[in-house]
Amino acid sequence: MKRFIFDTYEEVCSAASELYVKQLNEKPDTVFGFATGSTPVGLYNELVKKYESGEIDFSKARSFNLDEYYPMKKDHPQSYDYFMRDNLFNKINLSAFSLPSGEAPNAQAECKRYDAEIEAEGGIDLMLLGIGHNGHIGFNEPSVSYSMGTYLTKLTQSSIDANSRFFGPDEVQPTEALTMGIGGIVSSRKIILMITGDGKAAIAKKLFDGMIHADVPASFVLLHPDVTVFMDKAAAGNL
Ligand code: F6R
């Protein structure tokens, strides 16, 4: 594991974006894995800037996202599909992007289809992850056992509460999601984990205490042979 700690969130995003430049120079047809949430937004802005200035070209690359609410219409403003188009996909020239479909009539069939699609594209080269306050990655919530492949999961109250800020008082907030499993995530060739903000300091302390915690899903990511962690000082405050 490589771990870098920067003074500010902006510096984290700028440093992480350099790995995308390197990755695309080495492999223009990279298969990216992307996450939603507030953590990667600054990185996505950096990637858009680099694309607009001609520094990077995504035209041969494609992507898969970690998760999507279920059920969820693609065009709903709170869908992860919408979020990704709004923050990144509409602003760069990726050749294709996929998310698990919140519109699929059969969740189990959609999970199998999604894993087969990732496999058919040769797997994920570079996976981007954020971390939940409870240590979740994607929507793999703390548990005693974890799924290898993509699956339908119930969100914990902690995740529902954390995401409630995005839903209006009259909107029904989904309580389930389709998410890549831990197995799918750690099958990626390289992983970037971003941990920023003082709200993540407590989980960061547990994550880096030298133990693999079965109830911290992100712990399993640290076993990966090529993981780069980017943190800001706020999140690293308790280390
Ligand atoms: C979403 C995802 C989640 C988030 C996590 C942190 O695709 O993978 O695991 O990374 O909930 O969210 P933020 O960045 O909003 O703190």
pLDDT per residue over 26-74, tens digit each? Answer: 999 999 999 999 999 999 999 999 999 999 999 999 999 999 999 999 9
pLDDT score for 162: 84
- Of 105, 88, 106, which Cα lies nearest the Cα of 97? 88
Of the pLDDT bands very low, low, confident and very high (cuts 50, 70, 90), residue 84 is very high
Query: Residue 66 CA: which ligand 1 atom is closest?
Result: 7
CA-proximal residue: ligand 1, atom 8 (nearest) = 138
Q: How many domains does the chain have?
A: 1
The verdict on residue 22 lying in a domain is yes
The verdict on residue 238 lying in a domain is no
Average pLDDT over residues 175-193: 98
- Of 79, 62, 70, which Cα lies nearest the Cα of 117? 62
Distance 38 CA to ligand 1 centre (A): 7
- For residue 158, pLDDT over 90 is answered with no
- Of 38, 228, 10, which Cα lies nearest the Cα of 127? 228
Rounded Cα gap, residues 108 and 198, in angstroms:
37
The verdict on residue 200 lying in a domain is yes
Q: Residue 211 is part of a domain; what is its CATH number?
A: 3.40.50.1360
Full strand arrangement of the beta sheet holding 2-6? 2-6, 227-232, 190-195, 126-129, 31-34, 62-65, 96-98
The whole model's pTM is what?
Answer: 0.97
Three-state SS across 80-147? HHHHHHHHHHCCCCCCEEECCCCCCCCHHHHHHHHHHHHHHCCCCCEEEECCCCCCCECCECCCCCCC
Ligand 1 binding pocket includes 203 (Cβ within 6 Å)? no
- For residue 164, pLDDT over 90 is answered with no
Its domain, for residue 41, covers 2-232
Ligand 1 binding pocket includes 66 (Cβ within 6 Å)? yes
pLDDT score for 33: 99
Residues labelled catalytic: 67, 134, 136, 141
Distance 66 CA to ligand 1 centre (A): 10
Of the pLDDT bands very low, low, confident and very high (cuts 50, 70, 90), residue 89 is very high
- For residue 101, pLDDT over 90 is answered with yes
Rounded Cα gap, residues 18 and 233, in angstroms:
19
Of the pLDDT bands very low, low, confident and very high (cuts 50, 70, 90), residue 177 is very high
The verdict on residue 237 lying in a domain is no
**Ligand 1 pocket: which of 44, 88, 131 to mutate (most atoms within 8 A of CB):** 131
pLDDT score for 200: 98
pLDDT score for 68: 98
The verdict on residue 93 lying in a domain is yes
